[in-house]
A and B are shown apart, each in its own frame.
Chain A
Amino acid sequence: MEVIGKVSRVVGPVVHAREVTRAQMLELVEVGEQRLIGEIVRLSGDEISIQVYEDTTGLAPGENIYGSGLPLSVELGPGLIGSIYDGVQRPLELIKKQCGEFIPKGVKVPALPRDKKWKFTPSVKAGDSVTAGQILGTVPETDRLEHRVLVPPGVSGKVVKIAPAGAYTIEEEIAVVETASGKKPLRLAQPWPVRQARPNKQRLPFDAPLLTGQRVIDTLFPIAKGGTVAVPGGFGTGKTVVEHQVAKWSDADVVVYIGCGERGNEMTDVLKEFPHLIDPRSNRPLMERTILIANTSNMPVAAREASIYTGITLAEYYRDQGYHVAIMADSTSRWAEALRELSGRKEEMPAEEGFPAYLPTRLAEFYERAGLVETLCGRTGSISIVGAVSPPGGDFSEPVTQHTKRFIRAFWALDQDLANSRHYPAISWLDSYSDYVDDVGNWWKENGDPEWPALRTEIHDLLRREERLQQTVKLMGPEVLPDSQKLVLDTAKLFKNTFLQQSAYDAIDQYSTAKKQVKMLRIIVTYNRLAAEAIHKGVTIQTLRALPVLEEISRMKFSVSNEDVAKFDALQGRLEKAMEEVARGAQ
């Protein structure tokens, strides 16, 4: 790398340089003799501003800036799955091997292992014409995931050489394509600039849910594959647990978990737990589909800003191979705050609450990279984003929550009171919403219950009615209500306790299949319908409350596992019989 300028001023993570001879916007540079990694974020005459991804302590004016001529990029290829990277894709496991428990400055370790050989099987032959995004061959990246080696975007032409099946490192040439601008050698790995979205053929309408195994989500506030959702909540309300649960139990092929400015122990938790957790769908350890990006709160703030882009670029790469990818971003607020801090150090004009005026644009760009698409190779792939938002003081009227709301279509609002009473997940059934209900309705009708949309609406309405009744109860107590309204309170309570509450730490309850969810839902709705009829016929609420089958229903989530959902049918039978008997008794 050549010297392109000299440090003139150091303001925390922002470094200014002068006497610049040659520089490009967003170029990757190395700063000072410690060779800190940075990115050029402003050009003006012979001056540049650099955002530095490492701690700048000790850096002094006069030190050199080294240019790379290339934009900040990630390396895409086999070996990403199962890895843990920092915000600029430095492999933390390897850094530990080299440097011990703490992360020193200026370490340079390549993202993908150089010496590892991968079993490559070609799927094109010499003489074939290929276009960008087409599959050249495959590599078994993990026992469950076939890595599809793609012709990089921008490359097309005739294959003049393709490697025979065999083992190759990511640096070995596996193909040569004769393009309009000459011969282009291809390898198992390719670079891509993180701030640029990777191309696809076209966007597709949503059609299937991203199943999360979390009942309140899948049933009340579903997200589609390719959809975007925000999870706002004050501290300790359960954002991270939601992100962990979705990362564990969703039916995505690949999960990219971005720990952006959050706790070190939470990343350790994932790192230590996922290799031992078995994905119920593939029967393989969850780590075999997971990539972790960890830029914890005490790591440099500029790299926190980059971590979101690093994460989504890796996600796009697997989407382009025809996979459904889910991104967990915890927390997007820390990323926005990193933007704010860098903006302040660059002395830009602040807009609301000190955030730069381009905050909404950046948020939009990020969420726009989600979606269900037809890939360049003609397959279907998707990126879903679950973005945690950490509003100051738990107040959703702040800028990050408000702007995020414009770019997402589902909102899982976490409620402090629910969290205080340990009603988990503390997703408010009143403040949350999902615009994907119609998109995924057909899927649920076919794979769950033909009456799914109606059952769902019925229970959702009941919750809203209960909320209105609670206003009266708060003033006069529940005893003043007629039995038909007491039933609304009872059913709502039953639904909250048995269906909405779901423990993340119970072996049986932590994850519910679609089947289990619809069966539980139907049982509760059935109870409500039949009980309302019974009350109409003169049965008292006391009689109903004393029914032993209610006790069974309230424990069904723990007593019936995903494997024996048939037991729900028996329970449904017992419920209907019991209700028939009380109704008969009343006549």
Chain B
Amino acid sequence: MTATNPQELLKSREYHGIQKLEGPLLFIDNVHNVGYQELVELRDGSGRERLGMILETSRGSAVVQVFEGTTGLDLAHTSVRFRGEPLRLPVTKSMLGRVFDGLGRPTDGGPAPVAEERWDVNGLPINPTSRVYPRKFIETGISAIDGMNTLVRGQKLPIFSGAGLPHDRVTAQVVRQAKIVGEDVSFAIVFAAMGVKHDVARFFIDNFRNTGVLENVVLFLSLADAPSVERLQTPRTALTIAEYLAFRENMHVLVVLTDMTNYCEALREISTARSEIPSRKSYPGYMYSDLASLYERAGMVENATGSITQMEILTMPSDDISHPIPDLTGYITEGQIVLDRELHQKGIYPPILTLRSLSRLMKDGIGKGMTRDDHAHTASQLFAALARVKDVRALASVIGEEELSTLDHQYLQFGDAFERTFLSQREDEDRSIEETLDIGWKCLSILPKEELHRVTDEEIAKHYVKSS
């Protein structure tokens, strides 16, 4: 912007009175030269200020999305000021240990952070030529993740969950235990809560406090009682400070975004209010691009030694993985960890549905020198055996267990042992990758060697546990 005199410019762009209010949207006429996605300041009759953003601008009129909701605004007494720039977040390392609202304003009673730079919260796309491909194994200490759906530093790996499933506990355990073997740097954590309840936020904060990392966390809370539109900015502000910490301050940042389902609902709300042509289940057609503009803000770049690893939590409406929210997320992220209600009801923690989970960056982060040389084959063998278990269980439920062949019985045994010893672990149990793979082999050893097609003879000789 070519602001000659900022003060004067601001004054000249102040308007009194608006034409229409509709849901979270505000329509204003007789305005000029308002920029697309420009930040807007609103003041109601009582002098209370709110922020908004331009969604559409035409000659003489503009549509504003009000982040803090339109409750209490009226047409005559509302005044509007255009700021001439998009929403910006002051970025500084001193934001670690602080709590902010979804727009980046402190809510912990402390002063506003003093920063040299203010970054546009929308960010810019990373040039694919300057990305560094993520390959560094993060040990989470959870077997179902480390062994079969390995997380690497710079990956975006969401948790697909359902209402009432322990996604918060699993995430908290990952955050507590995540480490790079042989490296002594800890993760800085950027935590963004969108539309979740106070007790969820408190659960995480207590967790951070109890493990003594609170000083290393930036919290953005836009909880269930905050206006829904604010949620649309929350991940953007969070990712902006994450980018600053990772790419300017060279820190390794773990971003937790919860709950993306609430974010998407807010997106739908705005879209409906604008009467846009809806796509599946009335979510807007641009939801894929919109989610990508968040999820792609992960990874590593040349010229910086930091990284952004993203874990997004989302609850699948009616546990349906083909619902647009998990579906579009899965199409953008680099895999997914799926939690399963049936396993949860069986009392298994963590109830990770391994067959449906996936880590696409696993291949480059595992193996010799990184985890163990048999890792890829062992994981693939576990997957193959579990797929068979699924079929055998289905067959057993039709013809009865007694009618199964010896081999099929062995598969049932394997399946049970897998759930009991490999999958199940305590919430404070931090397994090394060797332990994880050894347990995997113990389970596989229930099956005859000839069944193990995806591992080599040498691996069998080395790891297969002969039954006593």
Binding between chains A and B: yes
A interface residue numbers (CB < 8 A to B): 8-12, 16, 18, 55-62, 84, 92-93, 95-96, 99-104, 234-236, 259, 261, 263-265, 267-269, 271-272, 294, 296-299, 301, 334, 337, 340-341, 344, 350, 353-354, 390, 392-395, 417, 420-423, 473-479, 497, 505, 551, 554
Q: Are A236's CB and B358's CB within 8 A?
A: yes
Q: Are B126's CB and A264's CB within 8 A?
A: yes
Q: Are B128's CB and A92's CB within 8 A?
A: yes
Closest to A476 in B: B399
Please give, as numbers and ranges, the residues of chain B lying within 8 Å of A62 by CB-CB distance: 32-33, 59
Most buried by B among A102, A259, A497: A102
Q: Are A354's CB and B285's CB within 8 A?
A: yes
Please give, as numbers and ranges, the residues of chain A lying within 8 Å of B1 by CB-CB distance: 58
Q: Are B128's CB and A104's CB within 8 A?
A: no
Q: A272 with B133: in contact, given A341-B286, A393-B327, A475-B398 (CB under 8 Å)?
A: yes
B37 at the A interface (CB under 8 A) = yes
**A340 CB contact (under 8 Å) in B38, B285, B297:** B285
Please give, as numbers and ranges, the residues of chain A lying within 8 Å of B380 by CB-CB distance: 422
Q: Are B289's CB and A265's CB within 8 A?
A: no
Please give, as numbers and ranges, the residues of chain B lying within 8 Å of A476 by CB-CB distance: 399
B interface residue numbers (CB < 8 A to A): 1, 32-38, 56-60, 85-86, 120, 122-134, 247, 276-280, 285-286, 288-289, 292-293, 296-297, 299, 301-304, 322-324, 327-328, 330-332, 334-336, 355-356, 358, 360-361, 363, 376, 380, 383-384, 386-388, 394-395, 398-399, 403-405, 450, 453
User: A393 to B330, alpha carbons, bound, how many Å?
Assistant: 10
Q: Are B133's CB and A477's CB within 8 A?
A: no
Q: Are A9's CB and B277's CB within 8 A?
A: no
**A297 CB contact (under 8 Å) in B36, B332, B394:** B332
Q: A8 with B127: in contact, given A101-B302, A301-B286, A344-B276 (CB under 8 Å)?
A: no
9 inter-chain pairs at a CB distance below 8 angstroms, sorted by A residue, are A101-B247, A102-B124, A234-B322, A272-B133, A296-B296, A350-B277, A393-B324, A422-B384, A497-B453
**A422 CB contact (under 8 Å) in B60, B322, B383:** B383
Say how far A306's CB is from chain B's closest CB, in angstroms.
15
Most buried by A among B123, B130, B303, B404: B130
Q: A56 with B289: in contact, given A236-B358, A478-B405 (CB under 8 Å)?
A: no
Q: A59 with B331: in contact, given A102-B125, A422-B380, A474-B398 (CB under 8 Å)?
A: no
User: A420 to B280, alpha carbons, bound, how many Å?
Assistant: 25
Q: Are B398's CB and A59's CB within 8 A?
A: no
Q: Are A353's CB and B404's CB within 8 A?
A: no
Please give, as numbers and ranges, the residues of chain A lying within 8 Å of B285 by CB-CB distance: 337, 340-341, 344, 354
User: A279 to B383, alpha carbons, bound, how many Å?
Assistant: 32
Please give, as numbers and ranges, the residues of chain A lying within 8 Å of B322 by CB-CB distance: 234, 392-395
Please give, as numbers and ranges, the residues of chain B lying within 8 Å of A477 by CB-CB distance: 395, 399, 403-405
User: A267 to B299, alpha carbons, bound, how many Å?
Assistant: 13
Tally the A-B contacts, defined by beta carbons under 8 Å. 215
Q: A92 with B129: in contact, given A8-B59, A61-B33 (CB under 8 Å)?
A: yes
Please give, as numbers and ranges, the residues of chain B lying within 8 Å of A394 by CB-CB distance: 322, 327
Q: A392 with B56: in contact, given A102-B124, A296-B128, A475-B398 (CB under 8 Å)?
A: no
Say how far A34's CB is from chain B's closest CB, in angstroms.
10
Q: Are A58's CB and B395's CB within 8 A?
A: no
**A102 CB contact (under 8 Å) in B127, B299, B335, B453:** B127
Q: Are B58's CB and A8's CB within 8 A?
A: yes
User: A269 to B302, alpha carbons, bound, how many Å?
Assistant: 14
Please give, as numbers and ranges, the residues of chain B lying within 8 Å of A99 by CB-CB distance: 127
Please give, as numbers and ranges, the residues of chain B lying within 8 Å of A475 by CB-CB distance: 398-399
User: A340 to B284, alpha carbons, bound, how many Å?
Assistant: 11
Q: Are A334's CB and B288's CB within 8 A?
A: yes
Q: A101 with B303: in contact, given A93-B129, A265-B131 (CB under 8 Å)?
A: yes
Please give, as numbers and ranges, the residues of chain B lying within 8 Å of A16 by CB-CB distance: 58
**B280 CB contact (under 8 Å) in A95, A261, A353, A497:** A353
Q: A505 with B363: in contact, given A103-B125, A263-B296, A297-B288 (CB under 8 Å)?
A: yes
Closest to A99 in B: B127
**A264 CB contact (under 8 Å) in B57, B296, B323:** B296
Q: Are A268's CB and B296's CB within 8 A?
A: no
User: A12 to B384, alpha carbons, bound, how many Å?
Assistant: 47
Please give, as numbers and ranges, the residues of chain A lying within 8 Å of B132 by CB-CB distance: 268
Q: Are A299's CB and B32's CB within 8 A?
A: no
User: A58 to B134, alpha carbons, bound, how many Å?
Assistant: 34
Q: Are B127's CB and A58's CB within 8 A?
A: no
User: A420 to B327, alpha carbons, bound, how many Å?
Assistant: 16
**A337 CB contact (under 8 Å) in B59, B124, B126, B288:** B288
Q: Are A354's CB and B128's CB within 8 A?
A: no
Most buried by B among A354, A423, A505: A354
**B384 CB contact (under 8 Å) in A92, A337, A421, A505:** A421
Most buried by A among B1, B279, B323, B330: B279
Please give, as numbers and ranges, the residues of chain B lying within 8 Å of A96 by CB-CB distance: 127, 129-130
Please give, as numbers and ranges, the residues of chain A lying within 8 Å of B128 by CB-CB distance: 84, 92, 259, 264, 267-268, 271, 294, 296
Say how far B409's CB is from chain A's closest CB, in angstroms.
12
User: A422 to B388, alpha carbons, bound, how many Å?
Assistant: 12
User: A103 to B301, alpha carbons, bound, how many Å?
Assistant: 13
Closest to A63 in B: B33
User: A95 to B380, alpha carbons, bound, how many Å?
Assistant: 41
User: A299 to B388, alpha carbons, bound, how many Å?
Assistant: 42
Q: A10 with B376: in contact, given A58-B85, A263-B332, A421-B387 (CB under 8 Å)?
A: no
**A100 CB contact (under 8 Å) in B56, B85, B130, B277:** B130
Please give, as numbers and ranges, the residues of chain B lying within 8 Å of A421 by CB-CB distance: 355, 383-384, 386-388
Please give, as numbers and ranges, the residues of chain A lying within 8 Å of B332 by CB-CB distance: 263, 297
Say how far A331's CB is from chain B's closest CB, in angstroms.
8
**A392 CB contact (under 8 Å) in B324, B335, B395:** B324
Given contacts A61-B59, A259-B128, A344-B285, 7 further A-B contacts (CB under 8 A): A8-B58, A268-B132, A354-B285, A392-B324, A393-B327, A394-B322, A394-B327
Q: Are B292's CB and A297's CB within 8 A?
A: yes
Please give, as numbers and ranges, the residues of chain A lying within 8 Å of B33 by CB-CB distance: 60-62
Say how far A534's CB is from chain B's closest CB, in angstroms.
20
Say how far B442's CB is from chain A's closest CB, in angstroms.
20
Most buried by A among B38, B58, B277: B277
Say how far A501's CB is from chain B's closest CB, in angstroms.
9
Say how far A245's CB is from chain B's closest CB, in angstroms.
13
**B296 CB contact (under 8 Å) in A55, A272, A297, A334:** A297
Q: A236 with B56: in contact, given A297-B296, A479-B405 (CB under 8 Å)?
A: no
Say how far B462's CB is from chain A's closest CB, in angstroms.
17
Closest to A9 in B: B58
Please give, as numbers and ranges, the residues of chain B lying within 8 Å of A104 by CB-CB distance: 124
Please give, as numbers and ranges, the residues of chain A lying within 8 Å of B360 by CB-CB distance: 236
Say how far B91's CB is from chain A's closest CB, in angstroms.
14
Please give, as numbers and ranges, the residues of chain A lying within 8 Å of B280 by CB-CB distance: 353, 392-393
Please give, as numbers and ranges, the residues of chain A lying within 8 Å of B296 by CB-CB distance: 263-264, 296-298
Please give, as numbers and ranges, the residues of chain A lying within 8 Å of B288 by CB-CB distance: 261, 297, 334, 337
Q: Are B277's CB and A101's CB within 8 A?
A: no
Say how far A15's CB is from chain B's closest CB, in angstroms.
9
User: A60 to B57, alpha carbons, bound, how many Å?
Assistant: 7
User: A41 to B1, alpha carbons, bound, how many Å?
Assistant: 28
Say how far B451's CB is from chain A's closest CB, in angstroms.
11
Please give, as numbers and ranges, the residues of chain B lying within 8 Å of A92 by CB-CB distance: 127-129
User: A545 to B202, alpha carbons, bound, how many Å?
Assistant: 60
Please give, as numbers and ranges, the residues of chain A lying within 8 Å of B453 by CB-CB distance: 497, 554
Please give, as numbers and ranges, the residues of chain A lying within 8 Å of B289 by CB-CB distance: 261, 297-298, 301, 337, 341
Closest to A422 in B: B383
User: A185 to B450, alpha carbons, bound, how many Å?
Assistant: 72
Closest to A477 in B: B399
Closest to B329 in A: A235
User: A554 to B451, alpha carbons, bound, how many Å?
Assistant: 11
Q: Are A420's CB and B324's CB within 8 A?
A: no
Please give, as numbers and ranges, the residues of chain B lying within 8 Å of A61 by CB-CB distance: 32-34, 57-60
Say how far B243's CB is from chain A's closest CB, in angstroms.
9
